[in-house]
Amino acid sequence: MPRVSDTFDLDSVEWRHIADPKETDFLIDFEYSLLGYDLPSGRLDMLLRFKGNGGHCRRHRHIAATVTMVLQGEQHVTEHGPDGAVTKSTVRKKGEYALAEADADPHMERGGPEGGTILLSMSAPDGRLFEYFDRDGNSIKVLTIAEYVESWNRGAVPGGVEGPEASAA
């Protein structure tokens, strides 16, 4: 299994910043770091880091079964139903652990008032990790482990957008 990092020391891993100024409904602003992966078995481990500025990741759902561990701060998750209405809000604090089955509901996530850093360990036997949605709840992109790895190796961010400040998970 390829390891990108031998540590999850938050000061030692390589972070990639994601922002999308074209999104006007909410602030997309976070960082991620790829820790390791195994393409044949469908496993990918990564870190997400949110500042305390209310920055979110994109509207998405996890297709892969996902283990979440909050390493610092808080993780705020807001789930949405098919009509876009909020169905559930969850706040996880440092040290909390969650296990989500594959094909989770669409949601948005961010850090708490002081930000947050989480470890995501995903299992996707078919290789599919995330599905992104537009503001109307329409599916706009499915991202795979292979796309994450390929974009990381190119110095880009997943989702086909190049450069240090671009759209991603």
* Cα 116 from Cα 111, distance rounded (Å): 4
Listed residue (88, 85, 44) closest to 62, CA to CA: 44
pLDDT of residue 113: 95
pLDDT of residue 22: 81
User: What predicted TM-score, i.e. pTM, was given to this entire model?
Assistant: 0.85
Average pLDDT in the 126-136 region?
88
Residue with tokens 């999308």: 20
pLDDT digits (tens, 9 = 90+) for 69-110: 999 999 999 888 777 777 889 999 999 999 988 877 888 899
pLDDT of residue 165: 40
Band (pLDDT 50/70/90 cuts) for residue 127 is very high
Q: Collect all residues with Cβ–Cβ distance below 8 Å to 72 and sequence separation of at least 6.
A: 10, 94, 115, 116, 117
pLDDT of residue 94: 97
Q: State the amino acid at position 105 in one-letter form.
A: D
- Cα atoms in the 13 Å half-sphere on the side-chain side of 117: 13
pLDDT digits (tens, 9 = 90+) for 137-154: 888 899 999 998 999 998
Model confidence at 155: pLDDT above 60: yes
The full set of domains in the chain, from first to last, is 16-154 (2.60.120.10)
pLDDT digits (tens, 9 = 90+) for 49-76: 999 898 888 888 889 999 999 999 999 9
* Cα 167 from Cα 60, distance rounded (Å): 13
Q: State the SS3 of the chain.
A: CCECCCCCCCCCCCCEEEECCCCCCCCEEEEEEEEEEECCCCEEEEEEEECCCCCECCCEEECCEEEEEEEEEEEEEEEECCCCCEEEEEEEECCCEEEECCCCCCEEEEEEEEEEEEEEEEECCCCEEEEEECCCCCEEEEEEHHHHHHHHHHCCECCCECCCCECCC
- Cα atoms in the 13 Å half-sphere on the side-chain side of 95: 0
Residue 7 backbone phi and psi in degrees, to 5: -145, 160
